[in-house]
Structure 1
């Protein structure tokens, strides 16, 4: 019988060097009760760029803020034109090996849950069921006036009808599904209103400058309390929305394990940071645990 490992951890202020050693991640999953916290780096192998990695979009792109979006029609025209074009690519993204590995770990009872900072729905498409979407999901839209919720696919059809022939060439794509377009390219784009009340439609995601709904945060805090350890996948932990859960786990003396190519803001709280490509690393861990990646991806 394989002995169940007991992970020990002592916080340190020293920089945490990256490693290629997957043993501690494997041991944590063997013990079970692991809460996954995933970020944009997990989806890069699905063709969705990240914000802060090498060549990350923040080096050339300032995301739309909630304040800008709600302040004026021109900002919303710019957002929806860019987002509509980006959705054609974003909406076709499919889960990669990393997403499938996380789903396989869940199926085999090794996880206590998944919290994702991503808005792409790829965890669910890979077969994960217990997923908290910290920042929402781009596949949904909501009316700021009446609160009616709708499908992004249905909105895309309405925007296509209102903007026949709209097919500009984008300079790049961003993790929030926003294509890089000039003001000239979006000048004549027509934004459609809520089909129920004629109000302003917004993607059901947390914009920069907007707060995560407090009940969602508290639910995630409860998940951290219940977890044995926290496994961070592909997040720089630069923003507090994810870092707060790392700090919470560390304060409780629970091991924090990070798989991310670059250093993160949470390294000082971690037992280890594995600096390997996520897909290959998670597949290697699954192989060591004899966990097959045999789930079929689900339609988005």
Structure 2
């Protein structure tokens, strides 16, 4: 059902939240635009300005690794200034109230943790851009270390433990999805009675299959997104309005 207006959508959502025992949110880039982080696909989004660098290209070419890190450093001020928006805070309120056991996110910005979620309860399907990992041994490297290396050497770093390339701890196109996170996300989807999709276009697979799994497992499905998605027709409620305005009434409740 597509809500005819914001007010009726919020009222219906409130009833569904009140009646649910276990709620699992699934968030995409749209929830963070209020925090000043641009999304990927819309006009002016990150991918309209820069072609994504596939994982295979990152591994094979030093210039690709250098460009990937230049792009990340160019976003330093944006990520540093970002604070949780109304959507993040509303979900954190439901988490603190015991309604939400964990949150599934396609985002890499760490804003759910900043809003009050314990790190272990944020299932990051596409990783996290606030630190780096070696693609060989998996050793964690902090961004300050990467910046110092880049400034000193003039190129992207390699791991001090195994000499393999170091990249942000995010999942690039062509890179394998994290097995443990995908398994946990699937378990959450199969064991909730309300699944909230917030700010995701639901076009990136296999992550986009998780809301369908929740619906098939008996959960009510709500989609909150400015634009239509391919899964609107199976949703119990679709709200096509601003996420901050939609979830704002639930902040602190």
Structure-1-length-normalised TM-score = 0.76
Instruction: Tell me what 2:125 maps to.
Output: 134
Q: Is the 8 A contact 1:162 1:192 kept in 2?
A: no
Cα 1:141–1:246 shift into 2, 3 Å: same
Higher helix proportion, which one? 2
Structure 2 distance, partners of 1:162, 1:88, is 21
Contact preservation (8 Å) 1:234, 1:259: yes
Matched, 1:105 2:105: no
Decide whether aligned partners of structure 1 residues 264 and 55 sit closer, same or farther in structure 2, where only a CA change above 3 A counts.
farther
State how 1:168-183 maps to structure 2 within 5 Å: none
Question: What is the aligned partner in structure 2 of residue 29 from structure 1?
Answer: 17
> Residue 71 of structure 1 corresponds to which residue in structure 2?
60
Q: Contact 1:36 / 1:233 at 8 angstroms: preserved in 2?
A: yes
Partner in structure 1 of residue 168 of structure 2: 203
1:89-238 counterparts in 2 under 5 A? 89-129=78-118, 130-159=121-150, 161-162=151-152, 189-238=154-203
Larger Rg over CA atoms: 1
CA–CA distance in structure 1, aligned partners of residues 36 and 100 of structure 2: 26
**Matching residue within 246, 271, 277 for 2:242:** 277
Please give the alpha-carbon distance, in whole angstroms, between the structure 1 residues aligned to 2:122 and 2:93. 14
- Which deviations, in whole Å up to 9, do the C-alpha atoms of 1:167-188 show, x marking residues without a partner? xxxxxxxxxxxxxxxxxxxxxx
CA distance in 2, matches of 1:148, 1:281: 40
Structure 1 residues 74 and 18: alpha-carbon distance in aligned structure 2, compared to 1, 3 A threshold: farther
2:31 corresponds to which of 6, 28, 42: 42
Gaps of 5+ in 1: 1-8, 10-15, 164-188, 292-300
**Whole-Å Cα distance in 2 between the matches of residues 242 and 147 of structure 1?**
22
1:154-207 Cα distance to aligned partner (Å, 9 max, x none): 323433x427xxxxxxxxxxxxxxxxxxxxxxxxx4222223343311111110
Unaligned runs of 5+ in 2: none
Between the two proteins, the alignment pairs up a number of residues equal to 248
Distance verdict in 2 for CA 1:18–1:44, change over 3 Å: farther
CA distance, structure 1, for counterparts of residue 203 and residue 30 of structure 2: 13
CA shift in 2, pair 1:243/1:49, >3 Å: same
Question: 1:143 touches 1:201 (CA, 8 Å); kept in 2?
Answer: yes
Partner of 1:204, secondary structure, is: strand
Q: Compute the RMSD of aligned alpha carbons.
A: 2.0
Greater relative CO, 1 or 2 (CA 8 Å, sep 6+): 1
Q: CA deviation at 1:25?
A: 1.7
